[in-house]
Amino acid sequence: MSILADPTSTRPTTPASDAALAVRSWVTSIADLTQPDAVVWCDGSAEERERLTALMVESGSLIALDPELRPNSYLARSDPSDVARVEARTFICSEREIDAGPTNNWREPAVMRAELRGVFDGSMRGRTMYVVPFSMGPVGGPISQAGIQLTDSPYAVVSMSIMTRTGSDVLALIDAGAPFVPAVHSVGAPLSTDDAGVKTPDVPWPCNDLKYIVQLPETREIWSYGSGYGGNALLGKKCYALRIASAMARDEGWLAEHMLIIRATSPQGRAYHLAAAFPSACGKTNLAMLRPTIPGWTVETIGDDIAWMRPGPDGRLRAINPEAGFFGVAPGTGHRTNPTAIATIARDTIFTNVALTDDGDVWWEGLTDEVPEHLTDWRGQDWTPASGTPAAHPNSRFTVAADQCPTIADSWDDPAGVPIDAIVFGGRRATNVPLVAQAYSWEHGVFMGATISSEQTAAAEGTVGELRRDPFAMLPFCGYNMADHWSHWLDVGAGLTPENRPEIFQVNWFRKGEDGSYLWPGFGENSRVVEWIVRRAGGEKVGAVPSPVGLVPAPGALDLDGLDLPDDTVTALFDVDPGSWLTEADLTEAFFERFGDRTPAALTDQLDDLRARLQVWLHPVQRAARA
Ligand SMILES: Nc1nc2c(ncn2[C@@H]2O[C@H](COP(=O)(O)OP(=O)(O)OP(=O)(O)O)[C@@H](O)[C@H]2O)c(=O)[nH]1
Ligand SMILES: O=C([O-])CC(=O)C(=O)O
Ligand SMILES: [Mn+2]
């Protein structure tokens, strides 16, 4: 089918430039391959979103919530098999396997292309293909990048219009020659028509058991097949802003990271910016929306999932949030834990896989202390507290525009970005890792990032709770060899002057006591840790003392006023057991060995230094036992 001749195509005015013609011919070639009934060019308007939303309500893909309780908001229930990112089916296709590295699934580009042609052949039959031009970052900004997603999922279109800047102004930029990343998405569920011309009825959440989430970092392409969910299907997010962008960033001297960005202002009126990487479902959205419990501090939100950072004209590392919305974890998000998120999602929100209340609102575990007597669960089944299953899927999410967040910073969409003072790495660790520690140097900070380990969450398939290495919180998202990512970080740091180089820290909100409960209250109380971090990064006089794993707050330096924490809990939060850490060091050595000679020498040196510090701290009894 030719787009130019297609009467159902809403193609904008006849393009003039070569760039514009190239875009149309690419769209035509994908339509020829996937054979949709119609092609619709999206303009990103409110009217368009309303039209697609109404279409999905009519088809049963969306349930309208009670407009009094939750204006202009909807619930989507996915197929029960399509609830999270599929890492086992995510591929990095570089020409050479070594350039994808041992932590990525690699396929040869030519082999993968041939396979993709097979699965995409006719995959949009009976459906509409939408053309969604989008910008990651403010349209035309110096750190921003464009893309075009072709998709047969109206849910993906509407979600992309919340999560990115979509529409005609981006297409105009691309038509004028701005580079863009082509991203093709199909749910892989063509609708056939029988001899009598009757189409097979659609299902509320079409998808396919076979899934492909494919990135070709060298040719900057994305192909996604079989899933309609989150990071699998909203291709601006993980596929582009992390996997493809990390490869671009490596080539061009910048950074694309799985990081939140906040601005914290002290009672003295000094503003600091912090970027923090935690693995999926480990607290980025919550820290990004933190409501400080310590007097006089404010925290404003800039981004909750992704940061693009590059040295600016002033020599400082400047960060933008390339997204325009939040795709946040619902369970655990409550009035007590994250009131800012609760205010953000009061209206104009799409909820996916949460429970439905009898009065037409949403509910999930942790939203309220009180559990409703009756709900419709995420699968659409009757639910009572006696059901014994979660009412909302553990990876259920809300999709909402960033500017609905009451704490969004004025500077959140500044195209030039904000200057970063502190970089934080964290994970979900029940043992060993202290509440907070500051790196001794940039190299030590890169070592902290490279050695993050975290208990797995429901954000991807796999066993929840299993400890795994998640370097830079980028294990599922680095578009090239992870060890090269560490070298790149070392290079970026070396290119910044000491005054402009952010300080690096490590945090752990998730340490548990012997009874299995969290030692640290977390959430708003994390402001106490943020204060120590940004004051240290700002070169202010706040005490720190050395430990084998980094500088930790000196006694009294961390504000614990008004917190009812017993002394032995505080001690336990900062306990560094050299014996256990030496065991971690052995595991780190084995982990580094997986990357062979790509592991930068600076990091093996850091491992030596860590072991040397641990030996000094080792109790004589432990030392004798290890000898
Ligand atoms: N105990 C404790 N739990 C937390 C804290 N911060 C976040 N959580 C919980 O961790 C889960 C995930 O948190 P999010 O902030 O949504 O995670 P995220 O890092 O933004 O996740 P992705 O969107 O998957 O990248 C939620 O259930 C939160 O309630 C904390 O300080 N303490
Ligand atoms: O990509 C997703 O589906 C959600 C997300 O932020 C993550 O998993 O880190
Ligand atoms: Mn994420």
Q: What is the pLDDT of residue 12?
A: 55
User: How far, in Å, from the CA of 160 to the mean position of ligand 1?
Assistant: 23
- Structure confidence by residue, pLDDT tens digits, 449-484: 999 999 999 999 888 888 999 999 999 999 999 999
- Structure confidence by residue, pLDDT tens digits, 524-556: 999 999 999 999 999 999 999 999 999 999 999
* CATH at 382: 2.170.8.10
Position 8 confidence tier, pLDDT thresholds 50, 70, 90 = very low
Helix (H) or strand (E) holding 503: strand 503-507
Nearest ligand 2 atom to alpha carbon 238: 1
In a domain, 242, yes or no: yes
Position 575 confidence tier, pLDDT thresholds 50, 70, 90 = very high
C-alpha–C-alpha distance, residues 157 and 422, integer Å: 35
Q: What is the pLDDT of residue 435?
A: 98
Position 106 confidence tier, pLDDT thresholds 50, 70, 90 = very high
14 is in an annotated binding site: no
* Count of the separate structural domains present in the chain: 3
246 & 296 share domain: no
0.90 surpassed by pTM: yes
Position 197 confidence tier, pLDDT thresholds 50, 70, 90 = confident
User: How far, in Å, from the CA of 147 to the mean position of ligand 3?
Assistant: 20
User: How far, in Å, from the CA of 395 to the mean position of ligand 1?
Assistant: 11
85 within ligand 2 shell (Cβ under 6 A): yes
Nearest to 281 by CA among 457, 21, 528, 108: 457
25 & 159 share domain: yes
Q: Is 282 a catalytic residue?
A: yes
Q: What is the pLDDT of residue 7?
A: 40
In a domain, 585, yes or no: no
121 & 151 share domain: yes
Position 2 confidence tier, pLDDT thresholds 50, 70, 90 = very low
Q: Choose the catalytic residue: 93, 239, 282, 478.
A: 282
Mean pLDDT of the chain: 96
365 within ligand 1 shell (Cβ under 6 A): no
30 & 156 share domain: yes
Per-residue pLDDT at 10 exceeds 80: no
211 is in an annotated binding site: no
Please work out, in degrees rounded to the nearest 5, the angle formed at the alpha carbon of residue 377 by the alpha carbons of 372 and 383: 55
238 is in an annotated binding site: yes
Task: Retrieve residue 405's tokens.
Answer: 């967040």
Q: Helix or strand or coil: residue 498? A: coil
User: How far, in Å, from the CA of 133 to the mean position of ligand 3?
Assistant: 22
Nearest ligand 2 atom to alpha carbon 460: 8
Looking at ligand 1, which residue's alpha carbon is closest to its atom 16?
A: 329
In a domain, 443, yes or no: yes
207 is in an annotated binding site: no
C-alpha–C-alpha distance, residues 159 and 401, integer Å: 10
Q: What is the pLDDT of residue 6?
A: 43
454 within ligand 1 shell (Cβ under 6 A): no
Query: How remote is the C-alpha of 29 from its chain's centroid?
Result: 31
Q: Helix or strand or coil: residue 149? A: strand
Q: Return the DSSP state at 319.
A: E
- Structure confidence by residue, pLDDT tens digits, 426-446: 999 999 999 999 999 999 999
For range 133-153, the mean pLDDT: 97
206 within ligand 1 shell (Cβ under 6 A): no
171 & 140 share domain: yes
ipTM: 0.99
Looking at ligand 1, which residue's alpha carbon is closest to its atom 12?
A: 281
Q: Which of 404, 424, 456 is the last residue of a domain?
A: 404
Nearest ligand 2 atom to alpha carbon 237: 1
C-alpha–C-alpha distance, residues 141 and 491, integer Å: 25
Positive or negative CA dihedral for 109, 112, 114, 119? negative
* CATH at 417: 3.90.228.20
397 & 503 share domain: no
294 & 245 share domain: no
495 is in an annotated binding site: no
28 & 94 share domain: yes
For range 333-360, the mean pLDDT: 98
Give the residue numbers spanning the domain of 333.
327-404
In a domain, 399, yes or no: yes
* CATH at 122: 3.40.449.10
In a domain, 599, yes or no: no
3-state secondary structure 59-77: HCCCEECCCCCCCCCEEEC
283 & 311 share domain: yes
**β-pairing verdict for 221-225 and 180-186:** parallel
Ligand nearest to the CA of 460: 2
Least confident of 17-21, 89-93, 102-106, 489-493: 17-21
283 & 429 share domain: yes
131 & 200 share domain: yes
258 is in an annotated binding site: yes
Q: What is the pLDDT of residue 102?
A: 98
Q: What is the pLDDT of residue 465?
A: 87
Per-residue pLDDT at 299 exceeds 60: yes
In a domain, 518, yes or no: yes
CB burial string 529-562: b at 16+ within 10 A, e below:
bbbbbbbbbeeeebebeebbbbbbbeeebbbeee
CB 82 within 8 A of CB 457: no
C-alpha–C-alpha distance, residues 604 and 225, integer Å: 39
C-alpha–C-alpha distance, residues 579 and 344, integer Å: 45
286 within ligand 1 shell (Cβ under 6 A): yes
User: How far, in Å, from the CA of 237 to the mean position of ligand 3?
Assistant: 9
399 within ligand 2 shell (Cβ under 6 A): no
Per-residue pLDDT at 1 exceeds 70: no
CB 242 within 8 A of CB 104: no
CB 224 within 8 A of CB 208: no
- Structure confidence by residue, pLDDT tens digits, 27-81: 999 999 999 999 999 999 999 999 999 999 999 999 999 999 999 999 999 999 9
Question: Best substitution site from 238, 304, 428, 454 to test ligand 2's pocket, by max atoms within 8 Å of Cβ?
Answer: 238
Q: What is the pLDDT of residue 622?
A: 77
In a domain, 162, yes or no: yes
223 & 344 share domain: no
Nearest ligand 2 atom to alpha carbon 258: 9
Percent of the chain's residues with pLDDT above 70 = 98
Q: What is the pLDDT of residue 508?
A: 98
* Other CB atoms within 10 Å distance of the CB of residue 141: 19
In a domain, 8, yes or no: no
